[in-house]
């Protein structure tokens, strides 16, 4: 991926460039902050990096960045019982606000793709500890 155009921000001291990977990380972190999101859904490459022990903070995020605008696609796993439209709307707002406040780019769209539902495993009842038996010798 290329960095933003060299004239993204020009100051007296030089130019400021933001790599698309940085915007992907911002979007990923903003997404997992939303209640109801169980995790990000990465593709094949995301699974490989997890097997290798690498944490991919941009997993499940794709951005298209121009000079002043960005479009974002996020792929998520939603928690069972969550209202998908509410969670998706929360993601859209959170991602838009995070990117715009941190980078100054205008976010034109945030597309949310729900790839899976996470069902929490039924919690096992805590087994009562057996009382120690006093044995007389």
What residues form DSSP beta bridges with 61? 74
For residue 95, what pLDDT is reported? Answer: 98
Q: For the segment 115-136, what is each residue's pLDDT rounded down to a tens digit?
A: 999 998 765 555 555 555 666 6
Number of H helices, E strands in the chain: 3, 6
Q: For the segment 28-75, what is each residue's pLDDT rounded down to a tens digit?
A: 999 999 999 998 987 544 444 444 444 577 889 999 998 899 999 999
Q: Look-up: residue for tokens 């972190």?
A: 29
pTM of the model: 0.74
Domains of the chain: 18-118 (3.30.70.1350)
């Amino acid at each position: 991926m290329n960095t933003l155009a060299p004239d993204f921000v020009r100051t007296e001291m030089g130019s400021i460039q933001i790599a698309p990977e940085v915007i992907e990380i911002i979007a990923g972190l903003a997404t997992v902050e939303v209640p109801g999101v169980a995790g990000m859904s990465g593709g094949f490459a995301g699974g490989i990096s997890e097997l290798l022990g690498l944490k991919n903070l941009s997993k499940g995020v794709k951005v298209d960045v121009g000079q002043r605008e960005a479009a974002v696609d996020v792929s998520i796993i939603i928690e069972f019982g969550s209202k998908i439209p509410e969670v998706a709307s929360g993601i859209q707002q959170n991602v838009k606000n995070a990117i715009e406040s941190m980078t100054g780019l205008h976010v034109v769209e945030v597309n949310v793709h729900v790839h899976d539902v996470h069902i929490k495993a039924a919690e096992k009842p805590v087994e009562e500890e057996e009382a120690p038996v006093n044995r007389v010798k």
